[in-house]
Amino acid sequence: MVRLRALHAFVIIAELKSFGKAAAHLNTTQPAISARIRGLEADLGRRLIHRNSRELRLTSEGQEVLRYAKPIVELTDRLSTLFSQDTQVTGTVRIGAIDTISASWLFRLFKRLRSEHPEVTFELRADTSANLIEDLRAGDVDIALAMGPAEEEGLVNVELGSFPMAWVANPQVYRFGSEMDVKQLADYPIISYPRGSRPYGMIKSFFGLERDANLQLNCSNSLATLVRLATEGFGIAAIPPAIIERELRTGLLERIPVRQEFPALDCHAIFYATSLSAAPGVIAELAREEAERFWAEKAEQPSNQPEPFG
């Protein structure tokens, strides 16, 4: 029978490429780690690691085992975090979050953290999803609340729901009649998310452009600034209605009736399954709960937004 501890050790060795580092990571000795791997190889009847090379390398069988072992280890780590009654996190947690989450339910998450884990302090970094995932890879943040999923071995993606999008504009500056086609929409100046961000790429794909030559794209790396630019009439913008409820309710912004639907922003809590701290897993589950509560409340609210243009 394959032992879970042996699989865990194998995954850590494959990621760190060192028996010694894996032993330190798992708070055990190198001979103990070697014994686990020998036991795993005996259980499977296959050699998993080349032992006669200067650099630790997996055999072809080892690569195949790793493909199955990683999701098993990730799931068991998450289960341990979910159902441990005494899981406590302490110290400083570095959290990266995109503006869309910061402007919606992020501060609910911080209240939960303060209430349930008072020993935790946090450092918040606001940036685009692409930059936050790079920060995660570089070890500059412990968890990223961003658009996902991030397709990379070792990363856990916890779904946080999706933000539907709507095209909006200042009705005093822009007046639209009947339902519009995307080609007609392209005639207007567009306020976009920053270059290189996923929403920026989604906007270009929405208009079927590989280059910006025929599109008036004005970019901002701040969601608050993007909203302000739209309310001041500098252009039209695709924004989650959940973020601009006040502007829609007061008539500062109105929806533009567009025939083609703009894709929703799919959000995830992203962290490494092999993190030494339990904090990322705990925060990911709290984030999931707060995101679900946020959207459940939105679903119960009566629609108090003005009808689209026209």
Q: Which residues contact 261 (CB under 8 A, 6 or more apart)?
A: none
CATH number at residue 47: 1.10.10.10
The verdict on residue 176 lying in a domain is yes
Q: How far apart are the first and last CA of the chain?
A: 68
pLDDT at 303: 57
pLDDT at 250: 96
pLDDT at 240: 95
Do 221 and 134 belong together in one domain? no
The verdict on residue 234 lying in a domain is yes
CATH number at residue 109: 3.40.190.10
112: how many CB neighbours lie within 10 A of its CB? 16
Nearest alpha carbon to residue 120 among 291, 276, 272, 280: 280
Residue keyed to tokens 């394959």: 2
CA angle 221, 196, 169 (to 5 degrees): 50
Do 201 and 248 belong together in one domain? yes
pLDDT at 76: 75
The verdict on residue 307 lying in a domain is no
The verdict on residue 209 lying in a domain is yes
Do 68 and 212 belong together in one domain? no
Instruction: Give the C-alpha separation, 139 to 89, whole Å.
Output: 18
What does pTM read for this prediction? 0.70
Across the chain, which has 310 residues, the per-10-residue mean pLDDT values are: 84 86 82 88 89 79 88 73 56 92 95 88 92 91 93 85 95 87 90 90 81 74 94 95 95 94 94 77 91 88 50
Do 131 and 279 belong together in one domain? yes
Do 124 and 254 belong together in one domain? no
Instruction: Give the C-alpha separation, 110 to 95, whole Å.
Output: 11
The verdict on residue 116 lying in a domain is yes
